Amino acid sequence: MAQLWCADQHARGLRVGLVPTMGALHEGHVSLVKRAAAETDRVCVSLFVNPLQFGEAQDFERYPRDFTADCDLLAEAGAHMAFTGSLDQFFPDRPGQVSEWEPSDFEDPGPFAEGLEGAFRPGHFEGVATIVRRLFEVCLPERAYFGAKDYQQTLVVRDLARRMGYPEVVVCPTLREASGLARSSRNELLNPEERSAGLFLSRALYAARGLWMLGERDPMAFEALMGSVLGQSPLEVEYATVRDPKAWTPGRPIPPLRQAVALIAARAGSVRLIDNMELDAGEGPAGAASRSLPGESDR
């Protein structure tokens, strides 16, 4: 259905912008849709909680879902089409149960999948790259919109698009609550104490930004500072580190840093939160701006 709709738009000479999502939409998703609406002729949004990218069955099962509310929000935001599907609709040529998939059924997510999310969520980027390739094949979009909130994902997806030869990947800034907390579908799962704990992610990132502005360029210094900020919270930290966005390495980069993104993953109770910030860019607390990714202009 989505395939036919997109083909029809192309036949009319219209440019399609794709916004892949897992639903439970919030202002962050809306910002991607608005950007797509401003830059393309037809905005197509996928709403699919992709079982291929979840390691923990419980995390997949309790992921928030509200298709009706999502469609209302999308209509307001200026999307032209939304679609969803089941695993076997997306992959009729592969087993209906994820547990029966062979490693060769998955897309190779490439070198940017190594380290951090790739290390803490084995198989995650294989699942992301597999569904994103399929969405690109179905919609043949001229542009696809992704959030800087999932920083490493943007690197993986851009690399995939480069290999496929399309689409143009547009990375949009992270939208935050006034408190600094990055908007996320998973925020719905936080109780008040966990939400307060979640604020420490952006606090640590802003502290790292401050240290960068003072001239610090040693990755270890950023790790120490973010560790001490996060240490004041009950969060269970998986990583709080920096990477050179123009020379991604699975491990800590060699000093001195020339440019840097700070990245954090931590659990507030059972809810896993991630956030990041480019240290040499001018993002304010409301997430007003973001820097380009390597080879990527922030259009």
User: Is 34 an interacting residue with respect to ligand AMP (CB under 6 A)?
Assistant: no
In the complex with ligand AMP, which residue's Cβ is closer, 184 or 233?
Answer: 184
Cα of first residue to Cα of last residue in the chain, in angstroms, is: 30
Question: Which sign does the torsion angle of CA 37, 72, 149, 214 carry?
Answer: positive
- Residues 138-157 as x/- pattern, contact with ligand AMP by CB under 6 A: --------xx-xx-------
Catalytic residue (choose from 26, 29, 80, 124): 29
User: Is 21 an interacting residue with respect to ligand AMP (CB under 6 A)?
Assistant: yes
Alpha-carbon span 243 to 263, nearest angstrom:
8
Which of 86, 83, 69 lies closest to 30 in space, CA to CA?
A: 69
CB 265 within 8 A of CB 238: yes
Among the listed ranges 83-91, 178-186, 195-203, 214-222, the one in contact with ligand AMP (CB under 6 A) is 178-186
Question: Which sign does the torsion angle of CA 14, 16, 17, 19 carry?
Answer: positive
From 32, 201, 261, 268, residue interacting with ligand AMP (rule: CB under 6 A) = 32
Q: Is 279 helix (H, G, I), strand (E, B) or coil?
A: coil
Alpha-carbon span 296 to 275, nearest angstrom:
20
From 182, 261, 268, 281, residue interacting with ligand AMP (rule: CB under 6 A) = 182
Edge-first strand order for the sheet with 42-47 is 81-83, 42-47, 16-21, 143-147, 168-172
In the complex with ligand AMP, which residue's Cβ is closer, 17 or 28?
Answer: 28
From 2, 22, 33, 277, residue interacting with ligand AMP (rule: CB under 6 A) = 22
Peptide bond into 167 cis (omega under 30): yes
User: Is 116 an interacting residue with respect to ligand AMP (CB under 6 A)?
Assistant: no
User: Is 29 an interacting residue with respect to ligand AMP (CB under 6 A)?
Assistant: yes
Query: C-alpha 172: how far from its chain's center?
Result: 10
Q: Is 10 a catalytic residue?
A: no
From 35, 133, 143, 183, residue interacting with ligand AMP (rule: CB under 6 A) = 183
From 9, 31, 130, 202, residue interacting with ligand AMP (rule: CB under 6 A) = 31
From 2, 73, 98, 175, residue interacting with ligand AMP (rule: CB under 6 A) = 175
Residues that bind ligand AMP (CB under 6 A): 21-22, 28-29, 31-32, 146-147, 149-150, 172, 174-175, 182-185
